[in-house]
Amino acid sequence: MRILLVDDNRTTLRYMTKLVRTLDAVALAYDSPDSVLSDISRLDFDIGIIDFQMPFCSGVELLSQLTKLEKYRDKPFVIVTADLDPSTRMEALNAGAIDFLTKPINPLEFQARMRNLSALVDARNKLADKTEWLRNEVDKALKEMREREEEIINRLTIAASYKDHDTAQHTRRVSEYSEAIAEAYGLDPERCRDIRLASPMHDIGKVGIPDIILLKTGKLTEQEFATMQRHALIGRDILAESSSSLLQLAAEIAGSHHERWDGMGYPLRLSGTAIPLAGRIVALADNFDALTTTRPYKVAWDVETTIEHINERAGTQFDPDIVAAFNKALPRILAVREAHGPQENRARAMSA
Ligand code: C2E
Ligand code: SIN
Ligand code: SIN
Ligand code: FE
Q: Which residues line ligand 1 (CB under 6 A)?
A: 216, 219-220, 228, 258, 286-287, 290-291, 295-298
Verify whether ligand 3 is closer than 6 Å to residue 271 (CB atom): no
- 202 CA → ligand 4 middle, Å: 6
Q: Which atom of ligand 2 is nearest to the CA of 277?
A: 3
Verify whether ligand 2 is closer than 6 Å to residue 277 (CB atom): yes
Residues (pLDDT < 70) of the chain are 164-167, 343-352
Candidates 1.10.3210.10, 3.40.50.170, 1.10.3720.10, 3.40.50.720; CATH matching 162-351: 1.10.3210.10
Largest CA distance in the chain: 102
- 279 CA → ligand 2 middle, Å: 9
- The amino acid at residue 168 is A
Q: Are 195 and 282 in contact (CB under 8 A)?
A: yes
Which residue's C-alpha comes closest to atom 17 of ligand 1? 291
DSSP conformation class of 298: B
Which residue's C-alpha comes closest to atom 1 of ligand 2? 277
Other Cβ atoms within 10 Å of 2 Cβ, number: 15
Q: Are 321 and 165 in contact (CB under 8 A)?
A: no
At 350 the pLDDT is 42
Q: Which atom of ligand 1 is nearest to the CA of 309?
A: 21
Ligand nearest to the CA of 337: 3
At 164 the pLDDT is 67
Q: Are 43 and 72 in contact (CB under 8 A)?
A: yes
Which residue's C-alpha comes closest to atom 5 of ligand 3? 342
Q: Which atom of ligand 3 is nearest to the CA of 289?
A: 2
Ligand nearest to the CA of 203: 4
Other Cβ atoms within 10 Å of 125 Cβ, number: 11
At 167 the pLDDT is 65
Give how far the C-alpha of residue 166 lies from the chain's centroid of Cα atoms, to the nearest Å.
32
The CATH architecture one would assign to domain 2-132 is: 3-Layer(aba) Sandwich (3.40)
- 330 CA → ligand 1 middle, Å: 22
Q: Which atom of ligand 3 is nearest to the CA of 170?
A: 2
- 209 CA → ligand 2 middle, Å: 29
At 258 the pLDDT is 98
Report pLDDT digits (tens) over 269-288: 999 999 999 999 999 999 99
Q: Are 220 and 297 in contact (CB under 8 A)?
A: yes
- 287 CA → ligand 1 middle, Å: 8
At 229 the pLDDT is 98
Q: Are 200 and 171 in contact (CB under 8 A)?
A: yes
Distance CA 63, CA 72 (A): 10
At 217 the pLDDT is 86
Report pLDDT digits (tens) over 232-244: 999 999 999 888 8
Distance CA 106, CA 110 (A): 6
Ligand nearest to the CA of 234: 4
Q: Are 263 and 230 in contact (CB under 8 A)?
A: no
At 82 the pLDDT is 85
Residue 352 half-sphere exposure toward CB, CA atoms < 13 A: 6
Ligand nearest to the CA of 226: 1
Q: Which atom of ligand 1 is nearest to the CA of 219?
A: 41
Domain coordinates in residue numbering, the chain: 2-132, 162-351
Which residue's C-alpha comes closest to atom 6 of ligand 2? 277
